[in-house]
Amino acid sequence: MSESVKGPASYFPSIEAKYGQPIDHWLGLVAGKAGMKHMEIVSWLKAEHGLGHGHANAIVAHALSTQKG
């Protein structure tokens, strides 16, 4: 049996379904915002791309966590 996805990635299926773009699309957009703070990127995704707060926050949290290390 597969383990259920937890954390920000648990939002990915609903993000893809609602906004019609693969997660890689959103992660690529966030990658282009290097140097911006977490909430600045969340606000940008909401304002420029119409994402809801929870979805934008999940994308940014995941993207930033994979950039560290």
Chunked mean pLDDT (size 10), the chain, 69 residues: 78 97 97 96 98 98 84
pLDDT of residue 1: 47
Taking the model in full, what pTM does it have? 0.89
pLDDT of residue 2: 55
Could you report how far apart the first and last alpha carbons of the chain are, in Å? 30
pLDDT of residue 5: 81
Alpha carbons 25 and 2: distance in angstroms, whole number: 26
- Identify whether the C-beta of residue 67 lies closer than 8 Å to the C-beta of residue 61: no
pLDDT of residue 66: 87
